[in-house]
Amino acid sequence: MLPEPADPAPETAGHEQAEGLGFEDLVRRHQRMVFSLAFHFLRDRAVAEEVSQDVFLRLHRHLDGLDLGNGVVHWLRRVTSNRCIDYARQRRFRLLSFDSTPEPAVEARTRDPLLSRRLRRLVASLPRQSRMVVILRYQEDLMPEEIARILDTPVASVKSQLHRALRTLRDKMLRVVGDPR
């Protein structure tokens, strides 16, 4: 099996062209990004794999007619985000509550696992669109303008969703650990 190439740097990924890359190369190059978006949003490994596979199969189907001028990474982020939100909407993928939600089996190695787990649970309790905004902002390190293009939403709406989400997270975190003031 071929070694899996590392993910491209986020700042260059948006300008990457798929020209010259085969479908398999594209899958191997972007699988972490697509799977992580789905996994962080849906918090279910099997469902995230299903959604991610669907995204890549769509890419395969549209590869010939795809406008590669905008970059395949943008296309993948856009389709994955929309697919996740649609999936959550259609299947009524509800989290019982952030306290009763089982933590996904796969956990990235973090400096403070308890804090990371708490934050992921709190983000999971946000409305669908806000949840995706937060994940795109912090997983992909995207600016509100780029998130707005991906979600086809006004920039002002993304900024306000992000602001509200961060305020909610901060408030809830303070409630959990106690206000130091």
Partner 1 sequence: MMRLQKPHELDDALREAFRRVDPPPGFADRVVRRASQSPVRTTIGTRAWLRWAAAAVLVMAVSGGLWYRAEERRRVEGEEARRQVLLSLQIAGSKLNAVQMKINRHEESRQ
One residue of 119, 155, 164, 168 binding partner 1 per CB under 8 A: 119
CB-wise, 67 or 112, nearer to partner 1? Answer: 112
Task: Return the range that interacts with partner 1 (CB under 8 A); candidates 47-55, 66-74, 75-83, 143-151.
Answer: 47-55
Contact 74, 149 (CB under 8 A): yes
Q: How far apart are CA 38 and CA 107, in angstroms?
A: 14
Stretch that binds partner 1, among 11-19, 86-94, 143-151, 169-177 (CB under 8 A): 169-177
Options 12, 15, 17, 60; binder of partner 1; rule CB under 8 A: 60
The Cα–Cα gap between 36 and 135 comes to 9
With CA atoms as reference, report the closest residue to 134 among 170, 178, 87, 179.
Answer: 170
* Torsion angle, alpha carbons of 8, 12, 15, 16, to 10: -30
Shortest Å distance, C-beta 174 to partner 1: 8
For partner 1, the closer CB: 92 or 111: 111
